[in-house]
């Protein structure tokens, strides 16, 4: 068992048209070539390599079994630290449309979700956005940073673009997470990381060491092999993503430039996403309803498979039956999502 979105995807691995995996798992030729090389399972060397990419000290790289685990251990730490500092329930703001483990884990470990950043101790979000696939301009976060709020930014999709890591902005209140599961497609290795602010490094190290197990040697070795072939894998992943983006744009018309291989399809007036998800699955097409993300009027599609053109064609045949619902449907569903 996992969280509901992951359970839905994992329950249907053999769908003929799979549009639900947001990472490049099983899509890359360069990944198995990289993993065929043996590298010493040296966590110090792995942390040093990641530190060079993210422009931080190696001591600030904390390895995890994926970005979701990284978000979780960071949220546990921040919930306790904020409650001790303020003497009250800590408050988090996350966008209404967001990758569910971020707000859901926050609530599970003691945060209260608030509706505006101004009322929050912590602002947490994915950048690029999941499920929308669009870029987050760091300038959007400037007012929160200037107000001294803590930021938790999940950048698992960052390397699908040329945008630098947010850690290179040297914000003293930034927590960043990432993983090897998206652009590198290395789901089976289970490698992620947390980068806390420099001032929190020592205190977070105690929590990280107590709560998490060490990574397996095979995971560390594989991650080092991936980084030794990083340029080749990035080139292949980005090329596949952009090819699929062009296919999507040609099929549906107006589309924002995507910074990650996910797209949130709302039609023009909203879709009955839960029914569309079910109808698509009956036709062998696996997509994810926006209900998982906080908005039941859209569907997330992933642009990560080599079969994407055929998969998209199969999805659009089903989607055509759900287009242009009444305006009342779109307004009602959006109001309910906003209240949720």
Within a domain: 259: yes
Of 228, 255, 283, the position where a domain reaches its end is 228
Of 210, 228, 246, the position where a domain reaches its end is 228
Within a domain: 191: yes
CA 272 to CA 112: how far, in whole Å?
Answer: 29
| Residues 11 and 132 both lie in one domain | no
| Residues 173 and 271 both lie in one domain | no
| Residues 190 and 238 both lie in one domain | no
What residue has token string 């569907």?
299
**Boundaries of domain holding 160:** 34-228
Instruction: Find the CATH number of the domain harbouring 177.
Output: 3.40.640.10
Q: DSSP string covering 34-83, please? A: HHTS-----HHHHHHHHHHHHTS-GGG-EEESSHHHHHHHHHHHHHHHHH
| Residues 224 and 319 both lie in one domain | no
Run of H or E residues at 151: strand 150-154
- pLDDT at position 1 is 63
| Residues 224 and 247 both lie in one domain | no
| Residues 218 and 86 both lie in one domain | yes
- pLDDT at position 303 is 98
Looking at the DSSP assignment, which residues form a beta bridge with residue 94? none
CA 265 to CA 100: how far, in whole Å?
Answer: 17
| Residues 189 and 299 both lie in one domain | no
Instruction: Find the CATH number of the domain harbouring 251.
Output: 3.90.1150.10
CA 95 to CA 200: how far, in whole Å?
Answer: 25
Give per-residue pLDDT as tens, 62-117.
999 999 999 999 999 999 999 999 999 999 999 999 999 999 999 999 999 999 99
- pLDDT at position 222 is 98
Of 228, 252, 273, the position where a domain reaches its end is 228
Give the total number of structural domains in the chain. Answer: 2
Written as six digits, the tokens of 188 are 């089976």
Enumerate residues 6+ apart whose C-beta is below 8 A from 304: 21, 22, 23, 24, 25, 27, 240, 241, 244, 261
Written as six digits, the tokens of 51 are 């530190």
| Burial category of 84 from C-beta neighbours within 10 Å (exposed 0-12, middle 13-18, buried 19 and up) | exposed
Give per-residue pLDDT as tens, 199-240.
999 999 999 999 999 999 999 999 999 999 999 999 999 999
Strands 262-265 and 299-302: antiparallel
| Burial category of 61 from C-beta neighbours within 10 Å (exposed 0-12, middle 13-18, buried 19 and up) | buried
| Residues 271 and 203 both lie in one domain | no
- pLDDT at position 340 is 34
- pLDDT at position 330 is 45
- Cβ atoms of 340 and 294 within 8 Å: the answer is yes
- Give the number of other CB atoms < 10 A from CB of residue 57: 13
Within a domain: 317: yes
**206: which DSSP letter?**
H
Closest CA to 158 of 126, 114, 125: 126
CA 306 to CA 296: how far, in whole Å?
Answer: 28
288-289 β-sheet, strand order? 262-265, 299-302, 288-289
pTM of the full structure? 0.93
Within a domain: 27: no
CA 305 to CA 287: how far, in whole Å?
Answer: 13
Segments of the chain scoring below 70 in pLDDT? 1, 324-340
| Residues 124 and 173 both lie in one domain | yes
């Amino acid at each position: 068992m996992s969280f509901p979105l992951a359970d839905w995807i994992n329950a249907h691995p053999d769908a003929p048209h799979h549009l639900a995996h947001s990472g490049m798992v099983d899509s890359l030729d360069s990944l198995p070539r990289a993993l065929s090389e043996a590298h010493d399972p040296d966590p110090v060397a792995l942390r040093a390599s990641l530190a060079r990419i993210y422009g931080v000290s190696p001591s600030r790289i904390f390895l995890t079994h994926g970005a979701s685990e990284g978000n979780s251990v960071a949220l546990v730490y921040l919930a306790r630290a904020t409650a001790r500092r303020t003497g009250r329930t800590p408050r988090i703001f996350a966008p209404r449309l967001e990758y569910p483990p971020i707000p859901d884990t926050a609530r599970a470990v003691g945060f209260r979700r608030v509706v505006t950043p101004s009322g929050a101790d912590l602002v947490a979000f994915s950048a690029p956005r999941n499920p929308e696939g669009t870029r987050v301009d760091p300038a959007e976060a400037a007012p929160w940073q200037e107000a001294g709020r803590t930021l938790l930014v999940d950048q698992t999709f960052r390397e699908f673009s040329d945008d630098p890591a947010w850690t290179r902005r040297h914000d003293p209140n930034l927590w960043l997470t990432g993983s090897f599961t998206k652009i590198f497609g290395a789901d089976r290795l289970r490698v992620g990381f947390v980068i806390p602010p420099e001032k929190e490094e020592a205190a977070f190290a105690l929590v990280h060491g107590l709560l998490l197990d060490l990574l397996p040697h095979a995971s560390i070795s594989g991650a080092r092999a991936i980084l030794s072939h990083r340029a080749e894998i990035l080139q292949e992943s980005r090329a596949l993503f952009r090819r699929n983006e062009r296919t999507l744009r040609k099929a549906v018309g107006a589309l924002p430039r995507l910074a990650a291989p996910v797209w949130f399809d709302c039609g023009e007036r909203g879709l009955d996403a839960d029914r569309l998800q079910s109808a698509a699955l009956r036709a062998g097409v696996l997509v994810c309803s926006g209900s998982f993300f906080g908005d039941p009027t859209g569907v997330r599609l992933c642009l990560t498979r080599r079969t994407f053109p055929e998969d998209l064609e199969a999805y659009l045949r089903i989607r055509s039956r759900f287009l242009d619902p009444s305006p009342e449907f779109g307004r009602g569903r959006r109001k309910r999502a906003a209240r949720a």
